[in-house]
Chain A
């Protein structure tokens, strides 16, 4: 076939690549609106809380018993979760081995992405949100398009059965998240000071690339090696809005060396730290787009 076809194919490829990189840049720019982010997160949390509440009420009114809901959850779990999280919910499914981070071990009741304080069990809406949105940059997919609300709710109820803690322990109230303060150079400097003073760079690196001196030694509570988070990627596993990152700093990441900073840092310092780590995002253009692994959720 002629040169014309070869040139056309090459040009089409370059255009597609450039278009994708442009779309990525546009997405990054719109996410800088702090107030809009917070509003979106609040709406999202409200939506999930409202949905869970509605689903709970429906279960209470319906002829189906709670056993039916967990049985439905078991059917869903079998086909969508068991491959990684295992039949016993211990995170040792047949597909779990090469995954990093490793799938959650439901038997411990420790969950990374919570709106509740450190050490507390998560709310149903926290689990519902994780199942729905997935965890960006990991093998945990977003299920909101493939499973109905009822199916996601049912699987949350089934997952809770793996840990006796859900039967025995009360769940704490979620932490309050106030309006984020405006971005100012002073606050950015305060965040940098907090980053240095609390030795965040030991794990995350001086420039936040996840390459600190302690990074190679990090392990989760199962003794599996894990990577320190790279702030320059701009995609945070617990959610990328300022409020999401603030929540992660406040509650910590259970089962990992990432501690909670509710005690050592004031609210003002945590917001400043949020602003600082988000300022570490690097725009690497098309080169970064090609040579960096995608971190959007599955």
Chain B
């Protein structure tokens, strides 16, 4: 029973994949190149959609025979607007309205010490996006809606004002806190421990700009991870990045006082691309101070990812996660080694196979659970 409980807990923590910063690193792009949300994740821009359908997949299934002698049909002007013959998927429903979506389902096999192995099928994510350009290149209404599993709700919903001086923007509403690398895996210690991940969008306002290789985003949010505000203090976070064609370097800092606690988080991140091989790293220091007792707890979380584009559409990934949950206590570190492959079979279809090997102290066997994950991801 204990093992089963541990497996369920760890399975819930296995998390879903959401964004792929290694692709931005590979091409030398900023997050805003491929995502409507300037700080990354969620709905893809027109460029991102084209990239996903041309550069990313191994092949194009359902392509028309280029050399074939199918009847040539030119549509009338009106018909051309609605009828498309080629396999290219256009996300724009109208001149100012675009849609998108993500669907993930996976098979997971778990192995926990002192417990029986288990396995299950599960829907990880059903998500729909809507982008409505109220004023082209100036004002956008954006919705990132969770359709399932579980209850429906908005992960992000905000108004985005762009075209400000220095390519600046203002975002107001509910959105993901800008901090560090918005990596694909919420269960990574750098995202789980800092608390800045896809499960913790918050209400507030964000200011940002992109100037040449430099970009920065400053957000002021409630600091309650989307829950009701319980004090007058606010979460302030700042992320700054230098993005070059084969290299990027960034700093992130966040301060979140609550009625009982003060949390200060500081992180450094970097990425290097060497041909087909990309390396991404981040290190975060988390300092929690109890206001009543004055006790201070310090944590260290690090992340190192390598991605190798073996051939068109196939990526091999290794990840090493490290967490020291309390620097005052020795021999309590947790580590995770992940290895796997991503295959973008055809536009909108991705298959993932990952092995996650966890290690921790013997007192917490549930933290030593290993996972074998096979995932199907449909997206547009």
Q: What is the bound-complex CA distance between A112 and B80, given in angstroms? A: 30
Known: A58-B74, A68-B80, A82-B46. A293 touches B54 (CB 8 A): no
Select which of B29, B60, B70, B316 is within 8 A of A145 by beta carbon. B60
Binary interface profile of A, 228-249, with partner B (CB < 8 Å = 1, else 0)? 0000000000000000000000
Instruction: Give every chain A residue within 8 A of B50 (Cβ-Cβ).
Output: 80, 83, 141
Q: What is the bound-complex CA distance between A72 and B60, given in angstroms? A: 23
Interface contact A294-B277, CB-CB below 8 Å: no
Q: What is the bound-complex CA distance between A72 and B83, given in angstroms? A: 10
> How many A residues, CB 8 Å from partner?
58
Instruction: Give every chain A residue within 8 A of B316 (Cβ-Cβ).
Output: 13, 16-17
Interface contact B72-A149, CB-CB below 8 Å: yes
Chain B residues touching A, range: 35 or more
Q: What is the bound-complex CA distance between A269 and B140, given in angstroms? A: 57
A285 at the binding interface (Cβ < 8 Å): no
Q: What is the bound-complex CA distance between A78 and B90, given in angstroms? A: 9
B53 at the binding interface (Cβ < 8 Å): yes
A150 at the binding interface (Cβ < 8 Å): yes
Interface contact A146-B87, CB-CB below 8 Å: yes
A201 to chain B, nearest CB (A): 24
Q: How many A-B residue pairs have CB under 8 A?
A: 148
Interface contact A94-B80, CB-CB below 8 Å: no
B150 at the binding interface (Cβ < 8 Å): no
Interface contact B370-A1, CB-CB below 8 Å: yes
B267 to chain A, nearest CB (A): 24
Interface contact B72-A55, CB-CB below 8 Å: yes
Interface contact A68-B92, CB-CB below 8 Å: no
Known: A68-B76, A146-B87. A98 touches B64 (CB 8 A): no
Instruction: Give every chain B residue within 8 A of A149 (Cβ-Cβ).
Output: 66, 72
Interface-lining segment among B10-18, B216-224, B254-262, B306-314: B306-314
A200 to chain B, nearest CB (A): 25
Contact residues of A: prevailing secondary structure: helix
Select which of B30, B46, B74 is within 8 A of A83 by beta carbon. B46
Q: What is the bound-complex CA distance between A146 and B57, given in angstroms? A: 12
Q: Which residue of A is nearest B340, CB measured?
A: A9
Q: Which B residues, 227 to 285, have Cβ-Cβ distances below 8 Å to chain A? A: 245, 274-277
Binary interface profile of A, 130-169, with partner B (CB < 8 Å = 1, else 0)? 0010100001011111111111001000000000000000
B138 to chain A, nearest CB (A): 12
B328 at the binding interface (Cβ < 8 Å): no
Interface contact A146-B60, CB-CB below 8 Å: yes
B376 to chain A, nearest CB (A): 20
Q: What is the bound-complex CA distance between A23 and B309, given in angstroms? A: 14
A69 to chain B, nearest CB (A): 6
B345 to chain A, nearest CB (A): 14
Interface contact B312-A72, CB-CB below 8 Å: no
Which 5 A-B pairs have CB atoms at the shortest separation, nearest pair first? A95-B47, A141-B54, A72-B80, A145-B63, A71-B77
- With A10-B339, A98-B245 already in contact, 12 other A-B pairs whose C-beta atoms are closer than 8 Å: A13-B341, A83-B50, A94-B47, A141-B54, A141-B55, A145-B66, A145-B87, A147-B86, A148-B85, A150-B74, A289-B275, A289-B276
Question: Can you pick out 13 interface pairs between chain A and chain B where the beta carbons lie within 8 Å of each other?
Answer: A1-B370, A10-B339, A16-B310, A64-B75, A75-B81, A79-B88, A95-B33, A141-B54, A143-B54, A145-B66, A146-B53, A148-B85, A150-B74
